[in-house]
Structure 1
Amino acid sequence: MSAPRAYRGLTWDHPRGYVALERAAQRARADGLDLRWERQPLEGFESHPIEDLAERYDLIVLDHPHIGDAVAGDCLQPLESLFDAATLAGWRAQSIGRSFESYCYGGTQWALPLDAATQVAAAREDRLDGPLPQQWSEVLALARRQPVCLSLAGPHAALSLFSMAAAHGDAPAASEPGRLFAGKGAVAAWELLSELNALAFRGWAALNPIGILDAMARNAEAVYCPLVYGYVNYAVAGEGRQPLRFGDVPAGPGGSLGSTLGGTGLAVSRRATVDDTLRAHLAALMGPAMQRDFIPFADGQPSAREAWADARVNAAWNGFYAQTQATLEQAIVRPRHPGYIPFQTEASALVRNALADRLAAAPALAALQSLYASRRPAGSEV
């Protein structure tokens, strides 16, 4: 009898990214699956070229904005070639918010939403002088009384602006092809971000979301962050860490909870020869037993809506899921066209520099539009 085919997978180096996958793969060895997971830093997950990874790994945990480059590079297998239409439709129906559709591009599904996340609000409730802000105006008022931080390092400056614009009715790339923002909503968002940045605590300016949440849980130099990618792991106490309170992001003038979808998808590279054992394992990861009863108790954040509403799951994680579900349901999907990832990196640097210079909305947004137009191939899907 021949040895089982060996598969290599790549995920990201945080318990939310690897614990459930590694434990599930260990369990599946009894069924004959030889799958070994390797890890890369969060920054690599956010920006490493997907074509390079697909040459070396069979399974890749990725973010949805990489899909356009992956399709252009023809480096992933369409999931329609591995699963029937009814199965994919069932997974679409069970997935929270737009987590499933974010991996659909050009009418084809390229990854499974293994993990669901978006920007949410985080606080040290024991240090906060009142309830979590419900409106952006309340965030400004809080920032004048207590230290409030912003998540602006890496790609997050642009993503914060995107979310604030969406809260003001101006989600990015939603108005017309090739146009980043429609107008007034983005202007209001820029003015809000600029004012808040001038008031914000700056001690954690270089930290990614994990670093911000860890610092807040350990020393609470800042007591509140209105937009930071949620990590359920910080909702409970840990060694040297206090639990954080997570909640919905502040609402815009019309009540919209502007937030930019994150989470991760599980894609199959062209180099993989998928056998029935691997196919069954991928299906199991999306099944109710894994999504509700396994992944939430292995440091993960499931993509199934049922898990986010489950009383036992919420009891284990101090209500993290129920307290942020509304934000996730309304989260926007970023552009996914080829060239988006370098745009996101450059746009974030532009936003940080413009904020530091207290640039007005008109020139800042014009510079972003010029950059977007230069990075988006003509005629490409958003």
Structure 2
Amino acid sequence: MTVRLRGITWDHERGRDSIVAASRAYADAGHDVDVEWEARSLQAFADQDLESLTRSYDLLVIDHPHIPQAAHAGLLAPLPDGEGPDAFVGRSDASYRWQGAQYALAIDAAAQVAAYRPDLLAEPPRTWPDVLDLARDGRVLWPAKPIDAFASVFTLSSALQDADAGRGGFAAPDAFTQAWELLGRLRDLVPAECLHENPIQTADRLAASNRWAYAPLLYGYSNYARAGFREHRLRWTDIPQIDGQPRGSMLGGAGLAVSARTAHRDEAIAFASWVATGEVQRGVYARAGGQPGHVSAWTDAALDELTGGFFAGTRRTLELASLRPQHPDYMAVQDAACERVHRGLLTREPAPDVLADLDLLFESSGAVHARH
């Protein structure tokens, strides 16, 4: 008898087409399992209510900061370690671990990287002074709606202090001040509408118009580097360097989790584990538009060629990415921090005032606890 599972993912080719194709391949390989997938918006993905979702779905593609809260509430089934943390790029695998257990598998890897139009720009800027010079020429976009503005502040603060932000407060004052002033200059040089855009909207603008040539901080989407996805192909590269390294980028990505309430736990875990294998990740999953987390996909020459050098061009940034604090209270802290950062950028508040509020948020929440 065929086991029927329900899954929820996010509504973009990267998050939807890839997992649907993998599910079909799983059934075609002789597994008597049928997975029906539903998709929700990118914003809903970030704001997801796992309490209700785990009642309705067996499989969930989720954002890693939700893991501690979901695991603490008993919403997710612990998963086998599979091929281990070294099988996934950077700290992708570690981001789904909590108190010694694995609660999702890193089927999708992402961080803030840079994108440019190779037909308009022979070489992208490699340092922040070069980025600002290009921005003065009116060629730069920067997605900075609240979550993305916060991600950029987190990225630059982590890079400038050479340590993850959000521990023992938000950031060292000198590092935060430099980050805030740099992003303030960038804000003044990009179109005002950038402060209300997400990475997908920015990538779409870059791919559609010859007016813009570069974006320094946006979550990478290999789809835009594939022939025929949009009118013009984007090329993806490491973020601008700090002290000669593209370090500090706030880690994103998505993991495949299993509801603790599913009536088909064994079948759901078996499917999730299969999707996370190197063969599937660099094969059907990636070729259907996915952005795999498995290292073997990031080192696959044919896949890199298919995506215009996306994986080779951004891997160093992924390896040096920063990780948000892991704690059950973290999402409430992040929501407040996003609003505070965005308001500070819009009203041009001084760095000390914004940092004082961020420090209070991170100190009072318990989100400074060490990762498990």
What TM-score comes out, normalization by structure 2 length?
0.93
1:131 alignment partner in structure 2: 123
2:42 alignment partner in structure 1: 42
Instruction: Name the CA shift for 1:35/1:193 in 2 (closer, same or farther; >3 Å).
Output: same
Map residues 58-137 of structure 1 onto 2, 5 A cutoff: 58-79=58-79, 83=80, 88=81, 90-128=83-121, 131-137=123-129
1:246 alignment partner in structure 2: 236
Give, in angstroms, the shift of residue 150 of structure 1. Answer: 1.5
How many residue pairs match? The answer is 370
Instruction: Name the CA shift for 1:124/1:32 in 2 (closer, same or farther; >3 Å).
Output: same
For the residue of structure 2 that corresponds to 1:294, the secondary structure is: helix
- 8 Å contact from structure 1 (residues 170, 182) kept in 2: no
- 8 Å contact from structure 1 (residues 308, 325) kept in 2: yes
Give, in angstroms, the shift of residue 32 of structure 1. Answer: 0.6
- 8 Å contact from structure 1 (residues 50, 69) kept in 2: no
2:26 alignment partner in structure 1: 28
Confirm whether residue 165 of structure 1 aligns to residue 157 of structure 2: yes
Instruction: Name the CA shift for 1:171/1:380 in 2 (closer, same or farther; >3 Å).
Output: closer
Map residues 143-292 of structure 1 onto 2, 5 A cutoff: 143-173=135-165, 175-176=167-168, 179-238=169-228, 241-253=231-243, 255-274=245-264, 276-292=266-282
Give, in angstroms, the shift of residue 59 of structure 1. Answer: 0.8
Separation in 1 of the partners of 2:90 and 2:368? 29
- 8 Å contact from structure 1 (residues 112, 266) kept in 2: yes
Worse-matched range after superposition: 225-234 or 245-254: 245-254
For the residue of structure 1 that corresponds to 2:161, the secondary structure is: coil
Instruction: Name the CA shift for 1:220/1:373 in 2 (closer, same or farther; >3 Å).
Output: farther
- 8 Å contact from structure 1 (residues 354, 364) kept in 2: yes
Instruction: Name the CA shift for 1:220/1:63 in 2 (closer, same or farther; >3 Å).
Output: farther
Instruction: Name the CA shift for 1:154/1:352 in 2 (closer, same or farther; >3 Å).
Output: closer
Map residues 288-299 of structure 1 onto 2, 5 A cutoff: 288-299=278-289
1:17 alignment partner in structure 2: 15
Give, in angstroms, the shift of residue 215 of structure 1. Answer: 1.4
Separation in 2 of the partners of 1:380 and 1:168? 21
Separation in 2 of the partners of 1:298 and 1:379? 38
Separation in 2 of the partners of 1:292 and 1:326? 19
Instruction: Name the CA shift for 1:363/1:322 in 2 (closer, same or farther; >3 Å).
Output: same
Give, in angstroms, the shift of residue 287 of structure 1. Answer: 1.8
- 8 Å contact from structure 2 (residues 166, 325) kept in 1: no
- 8 Å contact from structure 2 (residues 112, 218) kept in 1: yes
| RMSD over aligned Cα atoms | 2.1
- 8 Å contact from structure 1 (residues 91, 286) kept in 2: no
Give the letter for the 2:203 counterpart.
L
Instruction: Name the CA shift for 1:293/1:237 in 2 (closer, same or farther; >3 Å).
Output: closer
Separation in 2 of the partners of 1:199 and 1:378? 34
- 8 Å contact from structure 2 (residues 113, 239) kept in 1: yes
Give, in angstroms, the shift of residue 78 of structure 1. Answer: 1.1
What TM-score comes out, normalization by structure 1 length?
0.91
- 8 Å contact from structure 1 (residues 249, 258) kept in 2: no
For the residue of structure 1 that corresponds to 2:56, the secondary structure is: coil
Task: Note the residue ranges of structure 1 that are not aligned, 5 or more in a row.
Answer: none
Give, in angstroms, the shift of residue 276 of structure 1. Answer: 4.8
Give the letter for the 2:283 counterpart.
D
For the residue of structure 2 that corresponds to 1:10, the secondary structure is: strand
1:123-164 superposed Cα distances (whole Å, 9 cap, x missing partner):
123223x52111112111221123312221141111110001
Give, in angstroms, the shift of residue 105 of structure 1. Answer: 1.2
Give, in angstroms, the shift of residue 283 of structure 1. Answer: 2.4
1:183-213 superposed Cα distances (whole Å, 9 cap, x missing partner):
3212211111112111122234322111110
Instruction: Name the CA shift for 1:229/1:251 in 2 (closer, same or farther; >3 Å).
Output: same
Separation in 2 of the partners of 1:369 and 1:174? 8
